[in-house]
Amino acid sequence: VTSPEQTVQPDCLFCRIISGEIPSSPVYETESVYAFPDIRPVGPTHVLVVPKVHRRDAADLRREDGQLLADLFAAATEVAALSGLSERGYRLVLNVGDDAGNTVPHLHLHVIGGRQLAWPPG
């Protein structure tokens, strides 16, 4: 179920990637989510998982988005398995706002792995 007012934003970079207007290499896809490699990977694996409907960021989610969130995390688990990360682990990141360095205003879950990751982030 999608909110008609926020289905696709023509000026949104990731909406344009999802629609295929901007080419990308699919890593995984379902009816509700799309996963593709980050253009500037910070690890051997760095995949972005995005909902096909437009949400600005995690703070833009509503209670009605429960299924969307479940789909997003299920896809991340699938991406991790497809990328061979299930056994050794990986990091899931949702950046919100300027202090977190959020640059693209379309919700995206980072799946990062393939090396030991530092904690806490810088």
Tell me how far, at minimum, the Cβ of 4 lies from ligand 5GP, in Å.
25
By CB under 6 A, is residue 104 in contact with ligand 5GP?
A: yes
Q: Residue 77: which of Zn ion, ligand 5GP, none does it interact with, CB under 5 to 8 A by kind?
A: none
* Residue whose CB is less far from Zn ion, 11 or 98: 11
Q: Which residue is nearest to Zn ion (CB)?
A: 12
Residue 13 has which token pair? 């970079």
Beta strands per DSSP E along 8-122: 28-29, 33-37, 45-51, 90-93, 109-113
Residues catalogued as catalytic: 108
Say if residues 49 and 72 touch (Cβ distance below 8 Å).
yes
Kindly tell me which residue out of 9, 12, 29, 38 binds ligand 5GP, with binding defined by CB under 6 A. 38
For residue 71, give the DSSP letter: H
The site string for Zn ion over 38-77 (x = CB under 5 A, - otherwise) reads ----------------x-----------------------
Say if residues 48 and 9 touch (Cβ distance below 8 Å).
no
Residue 107 has which token pair? 């919700």
Q: Residue 36: which of ligand 5GP, Zn ion, none does it interact with, CB under 5 to 8 A by kind?
A: ligand 5GP
Say if residues 26 and 17 touch (Cβ distance below 8 Å).
no
- The angle subtended at Cα 108 by Cα 95 and Cα 61, nearest 5°, is 80
Q: Where on the chain is the footprint of Zn ion (CB under 5 A)? A: 9, 12, 14-15, 54, 106
